[in-house]
Chains A and B, each alone.
Chain A
Amino acid sequence: SQQGEEDPQALSIQEGENATMNCSYKTSINNLQWYRQNSGRGLVHLILIRSNEREKHSGRLRVTLDTSKKSSSLLITASRAADTASYFCATADSWGKLQFGAGTQVVVTP
């Protein structure tokens, strides 16, 4: 069953713009993770934020977590054509297994 739900399903922006996508989940979590998937390939781990953290940065990525609203957001600043990919949030349950959402498809045009 899907735990995380990403919004929007698709996003189209121009190079240099910021891209923001959101993730909502249903049950309590240990941590929340974001992954990127380039077309037809495996997923790449981007960032992990623990349930007691509110914000985390990694390069041009900024992730926030609001456990009271059961939501997270991923911001990609100054986007590049190479950021074109699908982005997934995943929540870790009490056993450490990840449940993934359906993803946000991001297209960055030059």
Chain B
Amino acid sequence: DVKVTQSSRYLVKRTGEKVFLECVQDMDHENMFWYRQDPGLGLRLIYFSYDVKMKEKGDIPEGYSVSREKKERFSLILESASTNQTSMYLCATSPEAWDGYTFGSGTRLTVV
């Protein structure tokens, strides 16, 4: 089974800090995604990547950036954390476009 590992389960950061959320997959999946999940809003796509060095904006990229230097690792960066970025962050992968996704366990980030 594909395993998608998110480095932290819970994280508390201060406003203005630069925050790195790491996601690592142990299979050879091309596609990786970052979503945030908020009550009543479902999952919203922040950024995605279909290849190493490639990144594309999702629906809500403002305040975020990403890095994909290696195929197995996709990092989400909050350049200057704000309280409205308090959320559950979910990383997902898929082997091909339109395939089912495998999700990590999520990182619950609180910005104070």
Chain B associates with chain A: yes
Interface pair A97/B100, CB less than 8 Å apart? no
What's the count of A-B pairs with C-beta under 8 Å?
Answer: 60
Describe B's contact surface by its main secondary structure: strand
B 1-58 contacts with A by CB, 8 A? 4, 31, 33, 35, 40-45, 48, 58
Interface pair B41/A31, CB less than 8 Å apart? no
Interface pair B59/A98, CB less than 8 Å apart? no
Interface pair A96/B97, CB less than 8 Å apart? yes
A residues contacting the other copy or chain, number (CB 8 A): 25
Residue of B nearest to A102 (CB): B42
**Chain A contacts for B108, CB-based, 8 A:** 40
Q: Which residues of A contact B (CB under 8 A)?
A: 1-2, 30-31, 33, 35, 40-45, 48, 88, 90, 92, 95-103
| 15 A-B pairs in the complex with CB atoms less than 8 angstroms apart | A33-B100, A40-B88, A42-B90, A43-B103, A88-B43, A92-B98, A96-B31, A96-B97, A96-B98, A96-B99, A97-B48, A100-B42, A100-B43, A100-B44, A102-B40
